[in-house]
Amino acid sequence: MKKILIMTTALTGMSFAASAQEVTVLGWGGAYANSHVQAYFTPFTEETGIKIVSVDADNPATPIKAMVEANNVTIDVASVENADAIRLCDEGLLEELDASILTPAPDGTAAADDFLPGTINDCLVATDVFSTVYAYDETTFPDSPPTTIADFFDLEAFPGKRGMRKSAKVNLEMALMADGVAPGDVYDMLETDEGVDRAFAKLDTIKDSIVWWEAGAQPPQLLADGEVALTTAYNGRIFNAAQTEGKPFKMVFDGQVYEFEGWVVPKGAPNLEDAKKFIAFSTGTEPLARAAEYIPYGPPRKSSAALVGNVHGTDIPMVPNLPTAEANLANALSSSNEFWADQDTELNERFNAWLAG
């Protein structure tokens, strides 16, 4: 309903966000939007008196382009994935955001230093981090469970099939990390032919044991069916299967590849100043920590990590499930959207050729 409203207002040129004391936020809906309402919207309105109007879209990145080009922007803030934000930013559809508007950490650390590297860029301020990790069924390896990304590629110590996403992205990074490359060197190495060869050589060692998945719902199912012993997966999916369905699934964050999403402001947003206020508030240390209690997506600020409590409504600590937990970040890689924007064609061609061969 709200989506229709956006579209009609976009077309007729009416602006319903006329009041200065209102910020319209375009989100994803579902459990994710709920975490936003609880952790950001309600406290923000309580503190500032500015009302939040929440609207949903299948992918909030999609309507932005239409609105900006029609010169009829009705939203102030949108939650989009980093890859989309870079694209929209390159096309000049987003307001540039200055890190100086963000609130510093409680200990006085500037926001630019408190946020994880790369999670603030020209047009986006990250709100949460989601990750590709690998998971296993506890009952399969009761005595000595796998603990490192190298274990995922170790067929002798951990026999069984491996589930992996059918795409070059993430797999190449994990292969290099498993081969002993430090996360910081992964993308430099992948820029070179030798690095790519090395990644594919590592993948070759388990190629015959790989079951490929494409949709995020598949890996928990493959694990549950016993079809694979270890599988890469999105951390939220495994968390859900473990928490709500009680499956004995364990995640290994060593060698995880994380990505993030966050706030962007469309060019020509009607309440630009209030929108910036909202972004500054919601990306504060405390609200980011609260949001992570509702959904296992990690806060992108180092200072938030310690404040994350239990999974909302239970007495299970959320922190071990977060990609951004201190322990989980020991050997972790931030996915590089720039690298993939450049190398996507070539590496996927190579990957497809490797797959077909």
- Give me the residues that bind other proteins (CB under 8 A), please: 87, 90-93, 161, 166-167, 191, 200, 207, 210-212, 214, 225-227, 338, 341-350, 352-357
CA distance 52 to 122: 24
Q: How far is the CB of 218 from other proteins (least distance, A)?
A: 9
Q: How far is the CB of 84 from other proteins (least distance, A)?
A: 12
Return the number of the residue (136 or 294) whose C-beta is nearest other proteins: 136
Q: How many CB atoms lie within 10 A of CB 259?
A: 22
Return the number of the residue (16 or 212) whose C-beta is nearest other proteins: 212
CA distance 344 to 292: 31
Q: How far is the CB of 74 from other proteins (least distance, A)?
A: 21
Which DSSP state fits 332?
-
Q: How far is the CB of 316 from other proteins (least distance, A)?
A: 30
CA-based Rg of the chain, rounded to a whole angstrom? 21
Contact 274/76 with Cβ under 8 angstroms? yes
Return the number of the residue (191 or 273) whose C-beta is nearest other proteins: 191
**Strands annotated E in 228-352:** 230-234, 249-264, 333-334
Q: How far is the CB of 197 from other proteins (least distance, A)?
A: 8
Return the number of the residue (87 or 312) whose C-beta is nearest other proteins: 87
Q: How many helices (H) and strands (E) does the chain have?
A: 16, 9
Return the number of the residue (228 or 289) whose C-beta is nearest other proteins: 228
Return the number of the residue (39 or 86) whose C-beta is nearest other proteins: 86
| Buried b or exposed e, range 308-323, using 16+ CB within 10 angstroms | beebeeeeeebbebbb
Q: How far is the CB of 53 from other proteins (least distance, A)?
A: 28
